[in-house]
Structure 1
Amino acid sequence: MLAALLWDVDGTLAETERDGHRVAFNEAFEAHGLPWRWSVERYAELLRVTGGRERLLHDMATQPDAPASPAERERLVTALHAEKNRRYGQIVERGGIALRPGVQRLMREAAAQGVQLAITTTTSRVNLDALLSARLGAAWHTQFAAAVCGEDAPARKPDPQVYLRCLDALQLDADEVLAIEDSPNGLAAACAAGIATLVTRSLNFASHSFEGALAVCDDLDQPAAPSPRLRGARAARIDLALLRQWHGAWWQEPLRA
């Protein structure tokens, strides 16, 4: 039985990456007098590396004017990441980032029908709070049974740590929940934890096939294609009744192997 929906944040709840985090990173570079700028294309490449700090360190290896020593790079990363988070919060407060289509609708359906909501993200808690306070109100946390963030699960996706810790917090088994993700690393993390996963492709992964997902859609209000394993028809949009149906079929005994 489906007992909880586990939501990724960046790219899943909202298109935060291209017009939020990327812009904030570029503003942080400028504030620190650095000539580095991440284009949309470069940032899409960097999203293969999960985590903002990790992305910065990865990119520094390609910058000829980056600090030479690892200690100096770590200090610069700490300063840049803090500045980026501050500017990201300002972007969100200005109303620059909306929740993706169907997100609030599905959350309301789940709450009305006794299905718990949880957050499973490796972004920082300050970034999560900035986004959800702006979009769901200051008491957003009361709508979620658990919120596992980067501080709680330092191993980044595709490591399943964030999902395993969320299952512990909810006291549920993997076959009682469904993950909602947007990226290959997110899908891999959820699958590694044994969790069936709906993928709502974000802009940066619009052409990815996402093999192994329970179903794939462009957003929750758009048609969705279930896994061939489910042998189901394409759906007009994602709602809770459909997810319950697909989730139940996913865990039927003949399909588990």
Structure 2
Amino acid sequence: MTALIFDCDGVLGDTERDGHLPAFNATFAQFGLPVRWSVEDYGRLLRIGGGKERLATVLDDPEVWRAAGSPATAAERAEVVATWHKAKTKTFTELVAAGVIPPRPGVRRVITDALREGWTVAVASTSAEPSVRAVLAGAVGDEVAATIPVFAGDVVLRKKPDPAVYQLTVDQLALDPAGTVVIEDSRNGLLAALGAGLATVVTVSGYTRDEDFTEAALVLTSLGDPDGERLEVLADPWGVRPVDALGLSELSRLAGRPAHDTQGGQT
């Protein structure tokens, strides 16, 4: 069996700057919180896996803590964060529905081709499940999206770079790790996939282009489209040598190798 597991944010769509960041800031305004994240602030916060986990950091500011009703216990803080996050997720899904976040090049093509050939396709993300499903539907359409299993949000306790969400996906879908390839965009995601023993292709996004992807099987600017944006190869340690667009033939060559085989394919 051959399987593809996609991350969501930065992979299905370049969602962080144009979707999640404005949704977070709209939530802060909605609840009267004296905080707004800049593009640079949010770039630093992306090192923290999970939207709730990022939101929790603002409670360390005494002004925000007081504006939030001075939650005194861990349970009260968690309840406040959950309320904020629910509102943020609603705002984000509305932005996706409005079409402000187009799918990244090649995503629809690769997913459609993989499903047609009988491959298993899944999505594994630290974002809230409604947000992930909205982005997925925007990328491939409602009908196709409904057939794709999604593992997201609090389905695991430990977020990326911990491999838990990828291990769960492999276990729940009874996948062969040797026949499974992950598409990621960040170092945290890469480490999570490698921790689960999965070969990983990185398609860098706006916030992650300068991160360290040394252990990836292939690093690209995007999956590419033959009639649209062509991919640029940034690193190809396994000697895949894609041209213009990454297809199933190249992805098949990545399956069956150890995830850490960074020398494979070199001549």
TM-score scaled by length of structure 1: 0.89
Q: Does structure 2 conserve the Cα–Cα contact (< 8 Å) formed by 1:13 and 1:100?
A: yes
Q: Does structure 1 conserve the Cα–Cα contact (< 8 Å) formed by 2:110 and 2:247?
A: yes
Corresponding residue for 2:87? 83
Q: Does structure 2 conserve the Cα–Cα contact (< 8 Å) formed by 1:223 and 1:238?
A: no
The reply to whether residue 223 of structure 1 matches residue 222 of structure 2 is no
1:253, distance to aligned residue in structure 2 (A): 9.3
User: 2-side partners of 1:160 and 1:242: how far apart?
Assistant: 25
Number of aligned residue pairs: give it.
Answer: 252
Deviations 1:16-45 (A, max 9, x none): 111101100100100111121011100000
Letter in 2 for 1:123: S
Q: Does structure 2 conserve the Cα–Cα contact (< 8 Å) formed by 1:225 and 1:235?
A: no
Letter in 1 for 2:134: A
Corresponding residue for 1:197? 200
TM-score scaled by length of structure 2: 0.86
Letter in 2 for 1:154: L
User: 2-side partners of 1:7 and 1:254: how far apart?
Assistant: 21
Q: Does structure 2 conserve the Cα–Cα contact (< 8 Å) formed by 1:180 and 1:200?
A: yes
1:77, distance to aligned residue in structure 2 (A): 1.3
* Greater alpha carbon shift after TM alignment, 243-252 vs 151-160: 243-252
Name stretches of at least 5 consecutive residues in structure 2 with no aligned partner: 225-230
Give the CA RMSD over aligned residues.
2.3
Corresponding residue for 2:64? 66
Q: Does structure 2 conserve the Cα–Cα contact (< 8 Å) formed by 1:15 and 1:97?
A: yes
Corresponding residue for 2:249? 241
* Greater alpha carbon shift after TM alignment, 200-209 vs 68-77: 68-77
User: 2-side partners of 1:153 and 1:238: how far apart?
Assistant: 31
User: 2-side partners of 1:160 and 1:249: how far apart?
Assistant: 19
1:134, distance to aligned residue in structure 2 (A): 3.7
Name stretches of at least 5 consecutive residues in structure 1 with no aligned partner: none
User: 2-side partners of 1:234 and 1:141: how far apart?
Assistant: 27
User: 2-side partners of 1:252 and 1:20: how far apart?
Assistant: 33
* Greater alpha carbon shift after TM alignment, 231-240 vs 72-81: 231-240
Corresponding residue for 1:105? 109
* Greater alpha carbon shift after TM alignment, 175-184 vs 149-158: 149-158
Deviations 1:148-207 (A, max 9, x none): 112322320111111111111221221110000001110000000000000001110111
Change (3 A) 1:141 1:216: same
The reply to whether residue 115 of structure 1 matches residue 124 of structure 2 is no
